[in-house]
Amino acid sequence: MSTTEKPGSQVISPRGSDTAAGGAPRATRLQAVRGMNDVLPDEAPLWQRVEDAARTVFAQYGYRNLRVPVVEATALFVRGIGDATDIVEKEMYTFADRLNGDSLTLRPEATAGIVRAAIEHSLTYERPQRVWTMGPMFRHERPQKGRYRQFHQLDAEALGFEGPDVDAEQIMMLARLWKALGLADVSLKINSIGDADDRLRHRALLIEHFERHRDVLDADAERRLHANPLRLLDSKHPPMQEAIRLAPRLIDRIGAPARAHFEGLTAALDAAGIAYEVDARLVRGLDYYNRTVFEWVTGALGAQGAIAGGGRYDGLAALLGGKPMPACGYACGIERLVLLLREQGATAHDAPLAYVAHAGDAAARMALAVAESLRDRGHAVVVHAGGGSLKSQMKRADASGAAVALIIGDDEVAAGTVTLKPLRVAAPQSAVAVADVAARAASYAA
């Protein structure tokens, strides 16, 4: 029996096998879902470098880790992100829970879940909170370089803070992260999209303006014109660009409180020596922002140049049924940071200090003991497993990236020594007493 396969689709039995009874097992080869990538061991060290640097920066600014589920009630995102946004309209992975029919969604971003958690656990009841999280997000976008359906974000959120100082702090955190990673070619855009009443007034002006330019609107813009006209400014549709350029600018019309907030932000950035461009057209893909919006961009990744974006969302908590809670946060795409690092020639390895090759039963036992004694001192050691000649073991040692090979055979067992062979520098091998192996090996560490 063979399964019928339509081009582009795979028929996969629940047990992962499509064998006829009695036939030779021939399991269907499963593949990762399009747009959802594996991070292979050779690639992971750069990811870890990014994640470690981020954890350090979060801690340096007093942000504490908060972990929220990957799956939330669909209503959280519909209400929180806004139903006239790209994300909610067409990018969410939404499904019915088979047990009770609840509509659930794989999180397309982290902020809504974090605010939900803050409300649910009264996190800001006594004092404001700085929190961070990192992990996978899911959006059904057209995959391309730097844009995936499962991607990973670093998120920081300052919950319960009103002033522009935390907005500036978050921008400075990211500047510090770029510095820690050695990232070049990143720049900062900021804007203020004012308060709700500013936006309401501006909204009316925008609708009027684009109604006068109806002939250039595409279908998306037509549909959003009355639902979410601010989003029209985000459009890449070429015929609309001139109308977008001429559109009334929100930042020219924001009220005194939002203006004071924005001036507070720019003053803090100036004082910190952080360069920025005020981009009056900068809006965010999500509905819940007010006042500050910012984006860090790079010219090095083509169309997917946004590496981090954020802003203030003072109205979100109330929208989700909580008490009003001023807040500011950002999200940064890990894949794009890794791409940018690679683009700049960065490499990272996770090689062990030593690879232990051995021949014979007594040597195998000694190899384990020597490796443990090195690990006791905090070193990473790989003990050869799977047999084979010493020659083939040395090939593995070399491929492991280890700084040294430790070779143990009958002679070494008898003498209580280890033969230490440096692998990355031209130096002779030598017999080393077991007690001295760790120190000698460490002297060859990269």
Binding site for ligand AMP (CB under 6 A): 109, 139, 141, 146-148, 151, 153, 285, 306-309, 331-333, 335-336
- Alpha helices (H) along 228-281: 241-246, 256-272
- Nearer to ligand AMP among residue 139 and residue 384 (C-beta): 139
Nearest approach in angstroms of CB 35 to ligand AMP is: 8
Distance (Å, rounded) from C-alpha 237 to C-alpha 432? 70
Task: Please count the residues of the chain.
Answer: 446
End-to-end CA, the chain: 56
CB of residue 130 to ligand AMP, shortest distance in Å: 19
Determine what percent of the chain falls in helix, strand and coil, rounding each to the nearest 5. 40, 20, 40
Q: Six-digit token pair at 138?
A: 């899911």
| Count of beta carbons in the 10 Å neighbourhood of residue 50 | 26
Q: Are 313 and 111 in contact (CB under 8 A)?
A: yes
Q: In whole angstroms, how close is the CB of 294 to ligand AMP at the nearest point?
A: 10
* Residue among 50 and 240 whose Cβ is closer to ligand AMP: 50
C-beta of 11: minimal distance to ligand AMP in Å? 29
141 or 279: CB nearest ligand AMP: 141
Which single residue brings its beta carbon nearest to ligand AMP?
333
Distance, in Å, from the CA atom of 157 to the CA atom of 95, rounded to the nearest integer, reads 28
Please report how close the Cβ of residue 44 comes to ligand AMP at its closest, in angstroms.
Answer: 17
CA-nearest of 379, 440, 437 to 408 is: 437
Nearer to ligand AMP, 153 or 393 (CB): 153
Nearer residue to ligand AMP within complex by CB, 186 or 383: 186
Residue 148: how many CA atoms within 13 Å on its side-chain side?
Answer: 21
- Of 116, 144, 156, 159, nearest to 296 by C-alpha is 156
In which order are the strands placed within the sheet that holds 103-106? 71-73, 103-106, 93-96
| Closer residue to ligand AMP (CB): 49 or 139 | 139
Main-chain phi, psi angles of 258, to 5 degrees: -65, -35
Q: Cα–chain-centroid distance for residue 257?
A: 33
Closer of 63 and 210 to ligand AMP (Cβ): 63
Q: Which two tokens stand for residue 253?
A: 């019309």
Of 194 and 285, which has the nearer Cβ to ligand AMP? 285
Tell me whether residue 161 or residue 288 sits nearer to ligand AMP (CB atom).
288
CB of 333 to ligand AMP, least distance (A): 2
Q: Smallest distance, Å, CB 146 to ligand AMP?
A: 6
Between 140 and 396, CB nearer to ligand AMP = 140
Q: Tell me how far, at minimum, the Cβ of 141 lies from ligand AMP, in Å.
A: 5
Q: How far is the CB of 332 from ligand AMP (least distance, A)?
A: 6
- φ, ψ dihedrals at 409, nearest 5°: -130, -165
The pair of three-digit structure tokens given for residue 241, joined into one six-digit string: 């660009």
**Per-residue burial over 166-180, b = 16 or more CB atoms within 10 Å of its CB, e = otherwise:** bbbbbbbbbbebbeb
Q: How far is the CB of 218 from ligand AMP (least distance, A)?
A: 21
What whole-number distance in Å separates Cα of residue 14 and Cα of residue 6?
A: 18
